[in-house]
Chain A
Amino acid sequence: MKREDQAGLTRRDALKIAAGAALSVPVLFTRAMAAPAASAPRFFTREEFALLDELAETIIPADSHSPGARAAKVAAYIDGRLAEAYLPVEADVQQRWRDGLRRVDTLSQEMNGAAFLAASAEKRVAVLTRMAANEKEPKTPEEKFFRELKGTTVHGYYTSEIGIHQEMEYKGNTLQQEYAGEEPTD
């Protein structure tokens, strides 16, 4: 049941996020306002949320095989986890994400003369390519943020309904009378 509903939910969600980015498309805005209150980001500002959503989609984009991180609501997943951060020990985690997003915009300004969301798709990829340069051993704050952003996006996406069923076409978690695979013949 849930899976059939997915496309509809996804479209509605995309509208909400577009509204969050304060794009001036009145029709979309009105529809988004009618959506349940849960749609508002819980930790990030709407601007930060829109940026995060675009970053996640750039890391795992929609392609001909399946929808991407935006449809899988990865930004909402990250936002929810950060909203629930345990502050006695994780206040710095929240701060790291705020700073990280700010750094993305700063880097984009330096490279493209425009904030990340205002830059062209090609230029956005260039910003992320720079941040991903030392993925294995990140050194600069931007590189370190990329690793955290990618790790969390990957986790959020591949544990989502879209990630599991549409992208990975996972066939398990079901009842089988026989195990899959081959029995040794000798």
Chain B
Amino acid sequence: MLFQVRPPAPKEADLTTVYDAIVVGSGAAGGMAAHILTSHGLNVLLLEAGRKLDIESELKSMEWPYDHPRRGEMPRDSHAITLNEYTVRQPPYAQGTEYKHVYSYVQGWGGSDYSKNIVVDEKDHPYTGTKYAWVRARLLGGKTAIWGRLALRLSDYDFKAKTHDGYGEDWPISYADIQPYYDKVDLYLGIGGHKENLPHLPDSLFQRTTRLNPSEVMLRQSLKKMNRVLTPYRAGVTTDGLKHNKYRSKCYGRGACGRRAGGCDIHAAFDSPTGLIYPAMDTGHLTLRTNSTAYEVTVDPATGKARGVAFVDSQSGQHYEAKGKAVVVAASTLESARLLLLSKSNAHPNGIGNSSGHVGHNFCEHVMGPSILGRVKDLVGKPRTLDDGRPGGFYIPRYRNLEERHPKFIRGYGFEGGGGTGMIPGRALSTPGFGADFKKTVRDEAGAFVHMGGFGEVLPRYESAVSIDPTVKDRWGIPVLKFDYAFGDNEKQMALDMAATGKEMFEAAGIEVLHADSDILTEGWSIHELGTARMGRDPKTSVLNQFQQSHDVKNLFVVDGSSHVSASCQNPTWTIMALAWRSCDHLADELGKGNL
């Protein structure tokens, strides 16, 4: 029924050979790089810092809470950092704690015992500087093991944002350059959604869409009158299945992805191992080495080009160097910046690929926090329906600063939300009182709530940066990142507008607003960190060219979110993969021509 094909047997890494390419990191970007390069017949070594987890037995997507000894919670000696801790303390957040393990906040969602082995233990992986909720997943597949699945395209409103409003830099590509690669990603990995023909949120090549429940339909109809759109969640989930991929099942609407921190044990939701890496291993061209933490891109002193990657085996503590004709860095936006900055040599005294001094800078992401909670009176007391068996609720695309200019801020934001009942009535605790009336109120109202939260573009600023901390090291002795980052006035003004317009949209739809919050969550909350090695045409003000190739070192590529020039307000994973595909086509071509 829900077939699960075992992963292919790994090949032993040969550290005496020179691979065609070494890829660092196995998430959305690294998985795509390994996949595309091997599809061109190149021999690739993929280094992943984390373990290979038996992910199906971690996620246990359909386990009932009462079948778990702690109703899904972690063992008591483990702790998830709370919002309050992120706000009142400075990193390193695990410092001074008596808990045996400390995890980032995603563990605070329900089902934390299912994802505790997926995110890093903050005790082993400290960082310093300004407050930042940095969620890292060190395992084969990286954060794709638990990602939120919203798969959106960017448009020329994003790629040409400077042309539009004068701020920052345009990307060195336009929508026309990336559109064929978005199409390839859609078809190869699968995405559900509904066509809306919006210039600022281009449609994908959709499989079966998820559906809307009654409160969401109500809101969609009402928004139309305001010339705004509510569309079913565009989920990076194969809703119809993929004939070309034996490792992934189609989605069966079990709803587990919404109940827990994400993750799909039948791999209907995209994850990098089953979507990209196992098929790449099946070509015979991919060698995977897990537990391999890269700490330096090594350099050939004669040419100044990348020679390979130095790494430490995180289990044995042994150090090694792997050699490659090209090095593809895809360790995640912040880890990639860390690796480049750590890779100092005579040829590259500020870190490899950093003659511009821009590595670590122009760091941006999405601002979150403002949210609206409403109640639909007509749905109170209605017979129970099944509302949560789908990979997501709805998305309201950006409507600010498209044709008109907002007086207080530039760029835009979108909302993610959902309505209807889930497995557990989330509003029970905030329903006042106790006793039979309380119980009945919880029961009657459970399906009547609708909720949404904003995701806004954070402007890239040179001074928003990470650098190498001069003293603090991680468990393996590798210097850690120091944050120098905070939201600015544009984000604060935008957040106020999110709360105001969110409320206005609910009210216009006749939804009773119970709560409209304009408070901003800690920096990092969106887990959409971007920038830090941006692309651009000018080597003085950018790190990479339009093919995510280092301006300084032609056989060095950085194919993850660090290359993004601006954050847009759309979730980045689909763009990361489309860009990596495009760049790795280029890499293979250049390598074949002897140009690297």
Q: Chain A: residues with CB nearer than 8 A to chain B? A: 58-61, 63, 65, 68, 77, 80-81, 84-86, 88-90, 125, 128, 132, 135-136, 150-151, 154-156, 158-161, 163-164, 167-184
A13 to chain B, nearest CB (A): 14
Please state if A167 and B439 are interface contacts (CB–CB under 8 Å).
Answer: yes
B1 to chain A, nearest CB (A): 8
User: What is the CA–CA distance of A81 and B69 in the complex, to the nearest angstrom?
Assistant: 9
Closest A-chain residue to B385, C-beta based? A180
10 A–B pairs (Cβ distance < 8 Å), ordered by A: A58-B434, A61-B435, A63-B436, A84-B76, A167-B439, A174-B254, A180-B213, A180-B386, A182-B212, A183-B209
Please state if B423 and A173 are interface contacts (CB–CB under 8 Å).
Answer: yes
Please state if B64 and A164 are interface contacts (CB–CB under 8 Å).
Answer: yes
Please state if A89 and B389 are interface contacts (CB–CB under 8 Å).
Answer: no
User: What is the CA–CA distance of A156 and B424 in the complex, to the nearest angstrom?
Assistant: 11
Please state if B99 and A169 are interface contacts (CB–CB under 8 Å).
Answer: no
Which of B162-170, B425-433, B493-501 forms contacts with chain A? B425-433
Q: Which of B384, B389, B421, B435 contacts A176 (CB 8 A)?
A: B389
B17 to chain A, nearest CB (A): 46
User: What is the CA–CA distance of A80 and B69 in the complex, to the nearest angstrom?
Assistant: 9
Q: Chain B: residues with CB nearer than 8 A to chain A? A: 1-2, 62, 64-66, 69-72, 75-77, 79, 97-100, 194, 208-214, 216-217, 220, 231-232, 239, 252-256, 259, 384-390, 421-425, 428-429, 432-436, 438-440, 442-443, 446
A67 to chain B, nearest CB (A): 11
Please state if A172 and B389 are interface contacts (CB–CB under 8 Å).
Answer: yes
Which residues of chain A are near B388, meaning CB under 8 Å?
Answer: 172
Which residues of chain A are near B390, meaning CB under 8 Å?
Answer: 179-181
Please state if B98 and A183 are interface contacts (CB–CB under 8 Å).
Answer: no
User: What is the CA–CA distance of A158 and B442 in the complex, to the nearest angstrom?
Assistant: 10
Closest B-chain residue to A180, C-beta based? B386
User: What is the CA–CA distance of A160 and B68 in the complex, to the nearest angstrom?
Assistant: 10
Closest A-chain residue to B384, C-beta based? A169
Closest A-chain residue to B232, C-beta based? A184
Which residues of chain A are near B220, meaning CB under 8 Å?
Answer: 184
Please state if A168 and B421 are interface contacts (CB–CB under 8 Å).
Answer: yes
Which residues of chain B are near A167, meaning CB under 8 Å?
Answer: 439, 443
A151 to chain B, nearest CB (A): 5
Q: Which of A86, A161, A176, A184 contacts B77 (CB 8 A)?
A: A86
Please state if A184 and B71 are interface contacts (CB–CB under 8 Å).
Answer: no
Majority SS of interface residues in chain A? Answer: loop
Choose among B64, B97, B100, B194 the residue with the greatest number of A CB atoms under 10 Å from its CB: B64
Please state if A86 and B386 are interface contacts (CB–CB under 8 Å).
Answer: no
Q: Which of B2, B72, B428, B440 contacts A63 (CB 8 A)?
A: B440
B395 to chain A, nearest CB (A): 12
User: What is the CA–CA distance of A163 and B424 in the complex, to the nearest angstrom?
Assistant: 8
Q: Which of A132, A135, A171, A173 contacts B62 (CB 8 A)?
A: A173
Closest A-chain residue to B213, C-beta based? A181
A3 to chain B, nearest CB (A): 10
User: What is the CA–CA distance of A81 and B70 in the complex, to the nearest angstrom?
Assistant: 7
Please state if B429 and A161 are interface contacts (CB–CB under 8 Å).
Answer: no
A66 to chain B, nearest CB (A): 8
Q: Which of A158, A160, A173 contacts B256 (CB 8 A)?
A: A173
A141 to chain B, nearest CB (A): 18
A124 to chain B, nearest CB (A): 10
Please state if B254 and A150 are interface contacts (CB–CB under 8 Å).
Answer: no
Closest B-chain residue to A61, C-beta based? B436
Please state if B71 and A181 are interface contacts (CB–CB under 8 Å).
Answer: no
Which residues of chain B are near A151, meaning CB under 8 Å?
Answer: 429
Which residues of chain B are near A128, meaning CB under 8 Å?
Answer: 434-435
Q: Given the interface contacts A128-B434, A151-B429, A174-B389, does A180 sit within 8 Å of B66 by beta carbon?
A: no
Q: Which of B71, B231, B443 contacts A159 (CB 8 A)?
A: B71
Please state if A175 and B253 are interface contacts (CB–CB under 8 Å).
Answer: yes
Q: Given the interface contacts A85-B76, A155-B71, does A181 sit within 8 Å of B387 by beta carbon?
A: yes
Q: Given the interface contacts A84-B76, A184-B194, does A168 sit within 8 Å of B211 by beta carbon?
A: no
B273 to chain A, nearest CB (A): 23
User: What is the CA–CA distance of A63 and B75 in the complex, to the nearest angstrom?
Assistant: 34
Choose among B1, B212, B217, B389 the residue with the greatest number of A CB atoms under 10 Å from its CB: B389
Please state if B255 and A172 are interface contacts (CB–CB under 8 Å).
Answer: yes
Please state if A175 and B254 are interface contacts (CB–CB under 8 Å).
Answer: yes
Please state if A173 and B435 are interface contacts (CB–CB under 8 Å).
Answer: no
Q: Given the interface contacts A155-B71, A180-B387, does A175 sit within 8 Å of B439 by beta carbon?
A: no
A85 to chain B, nearest CB (A): 6
User: What is the CA–CA distance of A182 and B393 in the complex, to the nearest angstrom?
Assistant: 12
B388 to chain A, nearest CB (A): 5
Please state if A158 and B424 are interface contacts (CB–CB under 8 Å).
Answer: yes
Please state if A170 and B217 are interface contacts (CB–CB under 8 Å).
Answer: no
Q: Given the interface contacts A172-B386, A179-B253, A180-B386, does A161 sit within 8 Å of B64 by beta carbon?
A: yes
Which residues of chain B are near A171, meaning CB under 8 Å?
Answer: 384-386
Please state if B211 and A180 are interface contacts (CB–CB under 8 Å).
Answer: yes
Please state if B66 and A161 are interface contacts (CB–CB under 8 Å).
Answer: yes
For the complex of A and B, 5 pairs with smallest distance between CB atoms: A181-B211, A176-B253, A159-B65, A86-B76, A171-B386
Q: Which of A59, A90, A174, A181 contacts B76 (CB 8 A)?
A: A90
User: What is the CA–CA distance of A184 and B212 in the complex, to the nearest angstrom?
Assistant: 7
Please state if A168 and B432 are interface contacts (CB–CB under 8 Å).
Answer: no
B2 to chain A, nearest CB (A): 8
Which residues of chain B are near A58, meaning CB under 8 Å?
Answer: 434-435
Which residues of chain B are near A85, meaning CB under 8 Å?
Answer: 76
Q: Given the interface contacts A180-B386, A182-B212, does A173 sit within 8 Å of B254 by beta carbon?
A: yes
Please state if A150 and B99 are interface contacts (CB–CB under 8 Å).
Answer: no
User: What is the CA–CA distance of A65 and B437 in the complex, to the nearest angstrom?
Assistant: 12
Please state if A154 and B66 are interface contacts (CB–CB under 8 Å).
Answer: no
Q: Given the interface contacts A170-B384, A170-B423, does A77 sit within 8 Å of B71 by beta carbon?
A: yes
Closest A-chain residue to B195, C-beta based? A184
User: What is the CA–CA distance of A167 and B428 in the complex, to the nearest angstrom?
Assistant: 13
Q: A59-B435, A128-B434, A180-B387 are in contact. List 8 more A-B contacts (CB 8 A).
A: A151-B429, A158-B442, A170-B422, A171-B384, A174-B389, A175-B1, A180-B253, A183-B194
Closest A-chain residue to B393, C-beta based? A181
B573 to chain A, nearest CB (A): 22
Choose among B65, B97, B388, B446 the residue with the greatest number of A CB atoms under 10 Å from its CB: B65
Which residues of chain B are near A172, meaning CB under 8 Å?
Answer: 254-255, 386-389, 422-423
Closest B-chain residue to A85, C-beta based? B76
Which residues of chain A are near B100, meaning CB under 8 Å?
Answer: 86
Please state if B428 and A154 are interface contacts (CB–CB under 8 Å).
Answer: yes
Closest B-chain residue to A157, C-beta based? B428
B194 to chain A, nearest CB (A): 5
User: What is the CA–CA distance of A128 and B435 in the complex, to the nearest angstrom?
Assistant: 10
Choose among A68, A86, A90, A161 the residue with the greatest number of B CB atoms under 10 Å from its CB: A86
Please state if A179 and B438 are interface contacts (CB–CB under 8 Å).
Answer: no
Q: Which of A84, A173, A181, A183 contacts B64 (CB 8 A)?
A: A173
Please state if A59 and B434 are interface contacts (CB–CB under 8 Å).
Answer: yes
User: What is the CA–CA distance of A4 and B298 in the complex, to the nearest angstrom?
Assistant: 64
